[in-house]
Amino acid sequence: MKNNFLVILTFFYCTLTWTQVKFEAEVSKNKLGVNENLRIDFKMNKDGDNFSPPNFDGFNIVGGPNQSVSNSWINGTRTFSKTYSYFLSPIKRGRFTIGQASIEIEGDIYKTSPVDIQVVEAVDSSASPNSTSTLLDDDIQLVAELSKSNPYLNEPISIVYKLFFSPEINVRNLGEIDSPEFKNFWSQKIDVPRLEIKRSSLNGKSYNYVTWKKTLLYPQKEGKLEINPMTLDVSIDVPTNRRDFFGNIIYTQTSSKVSSNKKVVNVKSLPTENKPEDFFGAVGDFNISLNSNKNELKATESFQVELKISGSGNLKLFSIPDLIVPSSLEKYDPEYSESVKIGLAGMNGNISNTYTIVPQFQGKYPIPKVKFSFFNPRLNKYSTIFSDEEIVDVYDGPIVTNDNSNVAVEDNKIASNSLQFNFIELNSEFDNISKSDRILDNYITYIIILPIVLIICVFIYLKTNKKSISQSEKNAEEAKKLAYKFLENAKNDITNTDLFYISLEKALFNFLKSRFDFQTTEFSKEKIKLKLSKKNIADSVIDSLIGILNSCEYARYTPSSSKEMKVDYDKAVDVISNIEKS
């Protein structure tokens, strides 16, 4: 009887042991270097729901959560295991605590114990030759391919980052944890639509590879420039020596940090021999054109002249030459536009300045040729090109006074003789008219002529006033249209702080210049306040305008958020609208 009781008690204890729920956190190591990764597994012996991981303060998640389930029967006994795995990368050195994870099993909530981790300075790899880490060092590499290592200043080069890995391993996730800043380069990232696995060889060995990143660079400084390494965090499946029931290789998941090599670019200075005086940094192969939208027009009407530079080269990195016009043509600040495509070979497309010009007098006016110089790295020499000349015929307007004509009249004076008019009889036989008759005749003359003269004067006044109002409205409309052109440019450049605020400032300046006859020397905050106050513009509108101009000025020194830029744009639209209403 006693023996039977012991057997039953032992069986009952084994049953309790089997049914006891276990939920634990296991880490690959409790102390690691800042350049190492940590694996943490949350394991349970019964299936559950609503798994909630802890906050991994002090770590970045570079892989996971990965879920694995094991369910087997051995000698009639069921063994179940479910695991959630994370791969963590430390952010900095120090002591950190990984908090509690929780899960719901059969209606009850279970939690793991906190885990303390110490992160120390970077360590050298001490893995054995057959370890996973050694396998990764041999079979996964990040390569930076530079298109040219000795370019000219402002000549385009490209750098492409490719991750090479052995066909025996599978790459799951990639994360960029350290990116080069490309100091002393103008840089533009080229989009990679998707990661496509391709096959190639590296150092005589066959690899799979994916292109991770492409960047176009224009060196902005001469001499030796360094490009720092890029570092990726890679989660991968690595084969083990074990096989499953069907003979398939069992893989284990791990992660590794992989870095490219540092690159050095030797930038050559541009030649000084035969360097044109008007060369201002354009490098590439370009063409220049000058086009006017009108060849005939009336005085005080406006026309546009587009000065365009097209081709391939550093189109975003130099200024378009200025357009010089005769003094009788009033020229406004240009509207800048660009259509530039950027690829690994460099920039290609065109940039242009469109000038609004208003002639003041009749005549035929030449728009002179524009000279443009650039350095062609392919030909290794400087080139100078010219635009065509345009002729604009202005009619129906004031005529320029020619002082030389007055001189010509004076030179052709006719000599007079005091006796040459003696043949005219100076005495007449007419009778004198009485004074009263003359007064009566004068009254009759006034009564008849005066109304006619008044009618003519009123007609001339009305016609002149109507023309003046029409011209004033037309000038106002031109000013408003010009301002909204620049506002549209600012809206298009809202992702670029510098270009946005340059366009916004131009919009306000051209509007004030056209609407209130501002001169360039008057474009200061104090003079703007004074002049607009005299025009009875509300103080609140003037303060808003000054606030926007301050934002344009501050943007040269401090970056602005897209939200602030949107607010400034809306304010500019309101200011122009309120001034028009005033």
Tell me the per-residue pLDDT of 332-347, one tens digit each, with 9 for 90 and over: 999 999 999 999 999 9
Which amino acid type is present at position 335? E
Among 340, 316, 359, smallest CA distance to 218 is for 316
Amino acid 135: pLDDT: 47
Amino acid 187: pLDDT: 95
Among 80, 70, 83, 1, smallest CA distance to 41 is for 83
Amino acid 323: pLDDT: 95
Angle at 483 between CA 481 and CA 485, to 5 degrees: 70
Categorize the per-residue pLDDT at 204 as very low, low, confident or very high, splitting at 50, 70 and 90: confident
Amino acid 416: pLDDT: 39
Mean pLDDT of 189-205: 89
Mean pLDDT of 52-74: 81
The mean predicted confidence, pLDDT, of the chain is 80
Amino acid 423: pLDDT: 40
CA dihedral 126, 127, 133, 139 (to 10 degrees): 100
Of the listed ranges 177-186, 387-396, 417-426, 486-495, the least confidently predicted one is: 417-426
Amino acid 481: pLDDT: 66
Which of residues 256 and 326 earns the better pLDDT score? 326
Amino acid 219: pLDDT: 96
Amino acid 8: pLDDT: 53
Ranges of each domain in the chain: 2-120, 132-267, 284-395, 469-581
Mean pLDDT of 414-443: 50
Amino acid 380: pLDDT: 94
Of the listed ranges 68-77, 144-153, 177-186, 530-539, the least confidently predicted one is: 68-77
Categorize the per-residue pLDDT at 565 as very low, low, confident or very high, splitting at 50, 70 and 90: confident
2-120 folds as Immunoglobulin-like (2.60.40)
CATH 1.10.287.110 matches 284-395? no
Cα→Cα distances 452→28, 449, 462, 463, Å? 111, 5, 15, 17
Q: Is 457 a residue whose pLDDT tops 90?
A: no
Among 286, 263, 283, 278, smallest CA distance to 184 is for 263
Amino acid 355: pLDDT: 96
Amino acid 19: pLDDT: 56
Q: Is 207 a residue whose pLDDT tops 70?
A: yes
Amino acid 107: pLDDT: 85
Cα→Cα distances 303→273, 299, 356, 357, Å? 41, 10, 6, 5
Of the listed ranges 35-39, 483-487, 504-508, the least confidently predicted one is: 483-487
Phi-psi region of 540 (alpha: psi -120 to 50; beta: other; left: phi over 0): alpha
Which amino acid type is present at position 349? G
Categorize the per-residue pLDDT at 166 as very low, low, confident or very high, splitting at 50, 70 and 90: confident
Which of residues 504 and 165 earns the better pLDDT score? 165
CA atoms within 13 A on the CB side of 279: 19
Categorize the per-residue pLDDT at 365 as very low, low, confident or very high, splitting at 50, 70 and 90: very high
Amino acid 409: pLDDT: 32
Mean pLDDT of 247-272: 85
pLDDT digits (tens, 9 = 90+) for 384-421: 999 999 999 998 778 866 543 333 333 333 333 443 34
- Domain 132-267, CATH: 2.60.40
Among 512, 519, 508, smallest CA distance to 547 is for 508
Helix or strand holding residue 130 (H, E) = none
Q: Is 469 a residue whose pLDDT tops 70?
A: no
Instruction: Give the count of beta carbons closer than 10 Å to the beta carbon of residue 461.
Output: 10
Amino acid 18: pLDDT: 47
Amino acid 433: pLDDT: 53
**DSSP-assigned letter for residue 45:** S
Asked if the domains 132-267 and 284-395 are classified in one and the same CATH topology, the answer is yes
Categorize the per-residue pLDDT at 304 as very low, low, confident or very high, splitting at 50, 70 and 90: very high
- Max mean pLDDT range (256-270, 442-456, 511-525): 256-270
Query: Spelled out in words, what is the top-level CATH class assigned to the domain 469-581?
Result: mainly alpha
Amino acid 417: pLDDT: 41
Sequence length of the chain is: 582
Model confidence, pTM: 0.50
